[in-house]
Structure 1
């Protein structure tokens, strides 16, 4: 009886641990070297109500070609699967030394289950015969789509067609979660308080030595550049985003400059009003003369 119990316990441990077994493997993305192709990964943790952890790595900078580059990336994700409200994808991307033209391997990612239950995310990876090694806590079963079928690389079931990328999406960089940041959020953030500590503030506008730009100068600048001085253009914002602290400082600077212009305009207005009063008196006196 004791022997049976021992075998039963061992069998139970093996059975319960099998769902958490680490999986490893490798795959190669072909196609053109300067393009990033969709590779889908299964959300193996979904059936177990767990988060899937996927690690992508390239230790050898000379793998596939001289100085192709190194990569260490970790993705944690839980797919939407046509209705789950707890879906997310977080990424930590770090790359080692690489020579031009190679500077990155990952161009973007997306949950590919907005209208299906395939439990697959999409990661765009550099092609050109680049090999990637993966480790995961659940089965991820990578599928590479580097060859088009009828012009389509990957057809998201019930969703859009996905082709290759030629550049990185705005939220992607070569070192960490987000360039010089500690986190990146794809969904809105709700908070009762947000404290930002900028490097400086805009009170220098009120310094007597500050050269306040004239309205004529501002008008000329706007005609040429289509935006205010010191304020980033629409293209810059789309490419780089904005620094909240720096943008608030800049906007306050514009408010302070506008305030100084309004004060000056108000002085001019009051002076004109006084001159008008004098002129009215003179006109009235002229009318009274015989």
Structure 2
């Protein structure tokens, strides 16, 4: 094949030394391969066998032997290239150290100056990639770009001194003057914008887009900063995402943050935060694990952590409060140090300052609460006026709307407890239950409009549809059942008093009477049962001849007492039978003296121990009465006999008296006669 030798010679006889130029008109190679262009003193190698090379400049490609398709332009450019192929080296000492490396493009004085074996690199600009030795697949464009890179590969540096300090860092993309300026070993970074990632040294896998974005980062990794000045002061913070001008600008050490919006997280140093919206979390410093979404949400937060603020100015003034969740426009806006609150709805908890452990769900729910704690308000306007009250639970639109300082209330249902202000410890459940209550305490109302009339009454229980007191001031009153009403304090009413068919069952599911009880009714503490339809006019001083019993149909009646015996032998008529052994009274007297009671009558000890049968006792007492009757009869007979004797003696006495009188009269006559003589 015909060789195509091309010799460029300047046809001037002696060498020209004018202007320090050396003009060569002789061939530089004895056998210079094929399709090569060699221009300049010592350009190319005399033993060149490579093809399609373009070598221009003194000592350019001086060691080139077998290399092909190289373009070497400039003094000492590609000086040591021997077998390298496909290199484009343009500039003073450009790629002068390359030996066998191929497919490099170096343009600029000393571009790729120390590159020896690195391949597939593109260095454009004075000293671009100057220190690169074996690193491959780099693209450095701009004066001093990748200046000290040695073995770091697959980097792209575009801009004045972009990635200037990189040594072994690989797979980085730096675009912009001084971008990634101090990066040494950091890898897989993308810095776009003047000064972006300027101080980064070992930080890796970060993306900084914008003027001075991530400017102060040194070792922080896996960050994404987009916007002018974003993450400006970040030092070692990692896993952060800042999007928006000046977002996260002061963050130094915080990790795992996500800021989206102008100046969002501006002063942040905390970790695990998510701020979305203009100025969201702008003052946050040491607060961690916060999520702020909405313009100015969490605006003043400094050290408060574990907060979730969603909505325009949600939690705006929160500083140190933690573990709060505010969702809705201006929800929890005034909160400062209150913690463990959940506010959901427009203006929910808007005035809360230090109140803690509150849950407000609904537009304006708990909107006036300031320091109240442990409250749960669910529904539009629920707990609207509550300020300092604690431990309230309101569920339903307008429930507890006017409560201010009353605490420990539970209201379930629309407008329940709507007018309660300072009342405490109330449980109101049902539509408009306790709606008129104002200051009443300790009430329990369950049912539609239950406790409707109560205002200041306390400790009342109303259960059932429209169960209510007739007065608003009753105390400790109970009404149970639909339309049940109670008219006095300390009273319990079951059922609607106007319903004549009302029946209450205890121990039965089918009561037949107003009170139907299966079982035992026990009365304690001297309790009594009063029957207004059973009056006993014969009761005097606790004694009566009537008693309470039931008739043949089980109805209660007041009856006179009647004792029954099983047979005639149980009665005491035997005392009057012939042959009855009536004890003599002296024997009875002896028994009484010995035992202290009548014969055949139980003693007091026996009665206490065993009790007595009333019928048998009455029979025994009648026996003693009948015995007493016999004793009386005996005594009467003796008295009658004695009376007859007395009467007989009296008759004798009368005869004697008459005889004595006759004697006395006779004596007088005798005396008279004697005196006459």
Greater share of helix: 1
If asked which structure has higher relative contact order (CA below 8 Å, sep 6+), I would say: 1
Both structures adopt the same fold (TM-score exceeding 0.5): no
Structure with the greater alpha carbon radius of gyration: 2
TM-score bracket for the superposition, by shorter chain length: 0.3 to 0.5
Greater share of strand: 1
